Structure 1
Amino acid sequence: MTRTRFQTFDDPSHRKGPERVAALRAALREAGIDGFVVPRADEHQSEYVPANAERLAWLTGFTGSAGTAVILAEAAALMVDGRYTIQAPEQVDPGVVTVVPLAESTAEAWIGRTLRRGAVLGYDPWLHTPDGVARLEHAAAKAGASVKALSENPVDAVWAGRPKPPSGRVIAHPLDFAGETASDKIARIRVELEAGQCDALVISDPHNLAWAFNLRGGDVGHTPLALGYAILPREGRPRLFLVSHDVTEEARAALAPVADIASRDDFEPALGELAGKRVRLDAATGAAALKERVATVGGTPDVGPDPITAMKAVKNAAEIAGARAAHRRDGASVVRFLAWLDGQSHVTEVAAVEALEDFRADGGDLRDVSFPTISGSGPNGAIVHYRVTRATDRRAEPGELFLIDSGAQYPDGTTDITRTVAVGAPSAEMRDRYTRVLRGHVAISRAVFPKGTTGAQIDTLARLPLWEAGLDFDHGTGHGVGAFLSVHEGLQRIAKTGTVALEAGMILSNEPGYYRAGGYGIRIENLVLVEPREVPGGERPVLGFETLTLVPYDRRLIVPEMLSPAERAWIDAYHAHVRDVLDPDLDPETRAWLERATAAL
């Protein structure tokens, strides 16, 4: 029986010709503007944006989740981070747009060098935060130029066939999974508003809106979001302004005691009610246009952190229980997939994605994949955020590595796991690199650290075994993960930029890697839960990590002699735990495979 799949493999934006950039330039000339900034963003600064907000992909062909293009009359550049330095040049026409790694230049630095004196650089104020606009202004001033907010986005004006706004179903998130009522969450938020001497909060982050009001939606792929805004006053009823009109009766009934629902079209007029009030706007997701409009109606914009972000990051007992249940279900599905993969002689990247999705669907309660599966064989595995298409699909060959980075959305939790497996006999170098990555991964898993420790302090542990060999990787070691929300959640992260102290209840990924361009990629990822730890004789409160993911590592790639006794003991104990937990959920054939895969080193 054929079913609808969550992931497609077409790439309609691949290598766009110069006509779209030329059309934008013509529109800019007509408007008297010398250039325009095109970020990969919607008005909420979301990672996954609706189809009608995929302006960067439509214009340039680049389909990554982060990037900024600057289109001038005589030059154009696309700035991307280390995840996309291989992908972007393959998707963008180099005769039209120059790809610039962020390690070499930021968008602002490129503007400062390239924009001519006296020029006017346009931007869409709904796609930039106030801080982002300030950086653009500084860059333009350095070049002797200026910036201008445009009331209409010129990309939209030349985008023929632009998709309509989304209208996914909005549903209630049950208390059994949420663990806290919306009214109790609102009360907590109001305490923070009072402490910050704010009269109201404008919720611009759809993730925070979903969490605060116990809602989930279907407006974007891979994350169950209902796009829109909310105005939450310190006193009085909150109002939600949703893009979608498809709100279930159950969701309306759940919201009725605590908030009113309105259309997104009513949002900007409703801002007029904030005259004379101090209004907190989220520095991370609140658009510059929002700050301007609050000020215009006579309110006082207070740009700072949305207090919901920190609350959402710390999971309650129900969310933690849901995460454990989701990972057990997901682990059984991924193990069935790996056992299947081990028996294939000729498997392609697309076939692996489809098979993995089938195993997850058969496992029950699958709502979506939490991001497009990264299925990279051989050299494609070296592309950190590679997305397979029908055009790039390749077969895994003997002597190669196969990297599978995937995740799922279940109503009780969100998963994200990466495993790298050998196809045939791996080389000595592959096994050396894999073991170094594994050692860093285990170092994070075993870490015990005092309260107040930041992700940046822990990040080094994952890199030391690679640094010893003069190696490294160009992405963070871990990101936060939501509870049936975003698979990439802040504020928590394990990275060089992870300045937030980790707290008990936070869920993060643990995913060091190594990538040989044109050869192979290695990444090993589990999700971990920050938990309190008791240390006999300890003088300070300490924390550690509970590993949530339940899937074995590829023993064929491990060099046991490179491991310390403590590292070997941890891996063996983890494998025994995986086997004990998943054994009842597996068929006899998969159970036998898992027995071999989790044998002691």
Structure 2
Amino acid sequence: MLQDFAQRTTPGTGAARVAALRGAMAGAGVDAFLIPRADAHQGENVAPRDERLAWLTGFTGSAGFAIVTAERAVVFVDGRYRLQVQGQVDQAVFEIRRIPEDTAADWLTEVLPQGGRVGYDPWLHTAREITELRDKVGSRQLGLVPGANLVDAVWADQPAAPTRPVVPHPADLAGRSSTEKRGAIARDLTERDIAAAVLTLPDSIAWLLNVRGSDIARTPVPLAFAILHADARVDLFTAPEKLDAAALAALGPEVRVAPEAEFGPALDALHGRVAVDPATAPVWVFDRLDAATGCEAVPERDPCILPKAQKTGAELAGTRVAHLRDGVAFAEFLAWLALTAPEGGLTEIDVVRRLEETRAATGALRDISFETICGAGPNGAIVHYRVTEATNRVISPGELLLIDSGAQYLDGTTDITRTVAIGEVQAEAIRPFTLVLKGVIAMSRARWPQGLAGRDIDAIARAPLWRAGLDYDHGTGHGVGVYLGVHEGPQSLSRRGLEPLLPGMILSVEPGYYRDGAFGIRTENLVIVRAPETPEGGDRPMLGFETLTLAPIDRSLIDPSLLDTDERAWLDAYHARVLAALGPLVDTETARWLTGACAPL
């Protein structure tokens, strides 16, 4: 559970590791090799044995990839990691390119001769990814060559695969039994003449079978593959030692457990039309099915993704309880911070440890939901900053402190960001902080016609910043699971959010502003999509948000003159709700602080 503050890779080894990889590439007869930040399940978080990108390059972000050729090496990251990658990667060894402005296809066609061979591990790339890359490099007749992972070949002390227990998830918290879930999806498969669906996403499998695990840090899922048959039977492929008698009994006789080594032969034995998600499944699965006799791979979205995103009433009720519990812990933490930080001497690591201690004191914390982002002053401008012993900064009075954190409880997953002023407020931070707050309020109050997607309303949160010539390089919000991944699709609030928003979905609302070398600002609440009451005279079904997160927003950083009457009313009502919900549950000292923090603007 405890957060590790050590560097994940050994500094200064990038050149030696790249040289070893180039030797393996020469032996395999390839001119370039692709190193994604992915495992065979395409998860955001990966087990230590799958941290190939970090091992090779030093970059520890949750998204990105590298390409190595005989003469050059490059790391690609998006705008969230622009500052982080510069501090972690040896730029004498690796070039740095930015996604989406730069692409793998463009770089490969630029540096490789016509007819060059590009090696890749077919377990670590999706079918869609390889198809698109093949199409784009075809003009130079570059060949994509699947094969063994060449990083693994030179990573002498690569950790072993995790084999932690699979445990049942209570049906009263899930709201639906696994039998119900499997039956509903199986009926849909039958109606469409599909014999089976291949599942490769651990959170889909965990949701479908009402199980959880701990193979991945911060995400309570077991690493596994599965085949859901049209008769509702499931073949689950994972290390059998992960399941004890109780776990096997909870799964029931319709779920067969087999080692992962039997996954390939089971694909070979399938007949008829088999659904596989080209956006999430390894291209290895498609290649295996294409080689099977009597089987047709049908590209379709993972059938668990959408029903998993629409939470049951039980899941929403549990999530509200989890946020109340988390709100109490976070308020006690903020009260401690307000009292302690202005005295000086606190470090970012001190703050992270204290926050985790307050959550652990609830007695319900299973894990944090991601590595806490705690950036003081200029570190706050690094969007996904992760404090280590090497980067740990003393928090000085007069600085802003950005804290983005969350918790995994059995009944729900939380994610909250608050930016607080330590001591005297920086005048130059007040205006952008208020503009970010205006974006949070605008999105929280938004109403939109049913059928719209995240990309259709993303601009609502950005508009106050845009009017001031400002913006941020990350999405406005992501989906969130229930004791599953803190980042969950298909829903999102972003320019890439194509999925229509539906009642029961949980998302974050987190606009921000970052000034390099000075400070970072982000305010984040979690919300539920719901159907609001139709206003008098309204004639179209609408959707809106219910705010889950309960925590005060730093009033000292707000310029009231920039808020209109409705915005002030929303903030005062939100703070009144926070005080009413948390006040009776916190200790006396926190209650006193909370009363002031939630006072009307």
Q: Give TM-score scaled by structure 2 length.
A: 0.97
Q: Which residue does 2:382 correspond to in 1?
A: 383
| SS of residue paired to 2:386 | coil
Q: Deviations over 1:211-266 (max 9, x none)?
A: 00000001010000111111111026211111462213322111124311111122
Q: 2: CA distance between counterparts of 1:285 and 1:463?
A: 30
1:32 to 22, 26, 29: 29
Letter in 1 for 2:16: E
Q: Which residue of 1 aligns with 2:595?
A: 595
Alpha-carbon distance between aligned partners in 2 of 1:154 and 1:309, rounded to the nearest angstrom: 32
- 1:67 maps to 2:69: no
Distance 1:129 1:188 in 2: 27
Q: Aligned letter for 1:336?
A: E
Q: Is the 8 A contact 1:504 1:531 kept in 2?
A: yes
- Asked if residue 234 in structure 1 is aligned to residue 230 in structure 2, the reply is yes
Deviation at 1:538, TM superposition (A): 1.1
Matches for 1:263-278 after TM superposition, within 5 Å: 263-274=259-270, 276-278=271-273
> In structure 2, how many angstroms separate the alpha carbons of the residues matched to 1:238 and 1:161?
35
Tell me the secondary structure at the aligned position of residue 14 of structure 2: coil
The match for 1:121 among 118, 121, 127 is: 118
1:579-590 matches, cutoff 5 A: 579-590=579-590
Aligned pairs for 1:10-159 (under 5 A) are: 10-13=6-9, 15=11, 16-150=13-147, 152-159=148-155
In structure 1, C-alpha distance between the alignment counterparts of 2:187 and 2:31, rounded to whole Å: 47
Q: Distance in 2 between matches of 1:245 and 1:277?
A: 32
Whole-angstrom CA distance in 1 between matches of 2:464 and 2:416: 21
Offset of 1:343 from its aligned partner? 1.1
Distance 1:236 1:460, change over 3 A: closer
Matched, 1:469 2:464: no
Unpaired segments ≥5 residues, structure 1 = none
Task: Give 1:313 deviation, angstroms.
Answer: 0.3
Q: CA deviation at 1:103?
A: 4.0
Q: Residue 561 of structure 1 corresponds to which residue in structure 2?
A: 561
One-letter identity of the residue aligned with 1:291: F
Structure 1 counterpart of 2:257: 261
Alignment size in residue pairs: 595
1:407–1:244 Cα change, 3 Å: farther
Distance change in 2, residues 1:432/1:473 (3 Å)? same
Q: Deviations over 1:120-173 (max 9, x none)?
A: 1101111111111112212332333211111x1111010010000001111000
Does structure 2 retain, via aligned residues, the 8 Å contact 1:140–1:147? no
2:189 alignment partner, one of 187, 193, 196: 193
> 1:237-252 residue pairs with structure 2 within 5 A?
237-243=233-239, 245-252=241-248
How far the C-alpha of 1:460 sits from its partner, in A, is 0.4
Residue by residue over 1:162-190, the C-alpha shift from the partner in whole angstroms, topping out at 9 and shown as x without a partner, is 00000111100001111100010001111
Matches within 5 A, 1:312-461: 312-344=308-340, 345=343, 346-461=345-460
Per-residue deviation, 1:272: 2.1
Which residue is equivalent to 2:307? 311
Quote how far apart the aligned CAs of 1:195 are.
4.0
Among 214, 219, 229, the alignment partner of 1:218 is 214
User: What is the one-letter code of the residue matched to 2:334?
Assistant: L
Q: Which amino acid is the alignment partner of residue 337 of structure 1?
A: F
Tell me if structure 2 keeps the 8 A contact 1:167–1:245. yes
Contact 1:245-1:263 at 8 Å conserved across structures: no
| Residues 278 and 564 (structure 1), Cα distance of their counterparts in 2 relative to 1, 3 Å cut | same
| In 2: Cα distance, 1:322 partner to 1:567 partner | 29
- Which residue of the partner structure matches residue 529 of structure 1? 528
> Compared with structure 1, are the counterparts of its residues 494 and 178 closer, same or farther at alpha carbon in structure 2 (3 Å cutoff)?
same
Provide the rounded CA distance (Å) in 2 between the counterparts of 1:523 and 1:538: 34
Give, in whole Å, the separation in 2 of the partners of 1:236 and 1:186.
Answer: 5
Segments of structure 2 that go 5 or more residues without pairing to the other structure are: none
Aligned amino acid, residue 416 of structure 1: D
CA 144–46 in structure 1, closer or farther in 2 if over 3 Å, else same: same
Q: Contact (CA 8 Å) 1:192, 1:307: kept in 2 or not?
A: no
> 1:531·1:543 contact (CA, 8 Å) conserved in 2?
yes
Aligned residue number for residue 274 of structure 2: 279
CA distance in structure 2 between the partners assigned to 1:237 and 1:134 by the alignment: 31
SS in 1 for 2:183: helix
Judging changes above 3 Å, is the alpha-carbon distance between structure 1 residues 581 and 248 closer, same or farther for their aligned structure 2 residues?
Answer: farther
Q: Which residue type is aligned with residue 377 of structure 1?
A: A
Partner of 2:495: 496
Letter of the structure 2 residue corresponding to residue 595 of structure 1: T
Counterpart position of 1:290: 285
Question: AA paired with 1:49?
Answer: V
Distance 2:292 2:101 in 1: 42
> Could you report, residue by residue, the CA deviation over 1:388-410 in whole angstroms, capped at 9, with x for unpaired residues?
00000001112210000000000
Structure 1: distance between partners of 2:116 and 2:278: 28
* Secondary structure at 2:420 match in 1: strand
CA shift at 1:12, angstroms?
3.1
Structure 2 letter corresponding to 1:284: A
Q: Cα–Cα, structure 1 residues 90 and 243, in superposed 2: closer, same or farther, change >3 Å?
A: farther
CA distance in structure 1 between the partners assigned to 2:3 and 2:312 by the alignment: 31
Query: Helix, strand or coil for the counterpart of 2:531?
Result: strand
Q: Secondary structure at the match of 2:21?
A: helix
Q: Structure 1 residues 454, 236: closer, same or farther in 2, change over 3 A?
A: closer
Task: Give, as a single letter, the amino acid of the residue that structure 2 aligns with 1:571.
Answer: L
Counterpart contact for 2:177–2:210, Cα < 8 Å? yes
Aligned-partner residue type, residue 474 of structure 1: D
CA distance in 2, matches of 1:243, 1:107: 35
Give 3-state SS (helix, strand or coil) of 1:38's partner: strand
SS of equivalent to 1:343? helix
Q: State how far apart, in whole Å, the 2-side matches of 1:537 and 1:257 are.
A: 54
- 2:97 corresponds to which letter in structure 1? V
Q: What SS does the corresponding residue of 2:401 show, helix, strand or coil?
A: strand
Q: Work out whether residues 127 and 279 of structure 2, in 8 Å CA contact, stay in contact via their aligned partners in 1.
A: no
User: Match of 2:486, SS?
Assistant: coil
Once the two structures are TM-superposed, the CA of residue 58 in structure 1 deviates from its matched residue by: 0.5
Residue 479 of structure 2 corresponds to which residue in structure 1? 480
Equivalent-residue separation in structure 2 for 1:95 and 1:394 (angstroms)? 26
Alpha-carbon distance in structure 1 between the residues aligned to 2:257 and 2:240: 11
Cα 1:523/1:236, change in 2 over 3 Å? closer
Q: Superposition pairs for residues 177-188 of structure 1, below 5 Å?
A: 177-188=173-184
SS of 1:479's partner is strand
SS of residue in 1 equivalent to 2:396: coil
Query: Alpha-carbon deviation of 1:417?
Result: 0.2
Please state whether the residue corresponding to 1:530 is helix, strand or coil. strand
Which SS does the other structure have where 2:242 is aligned? coil
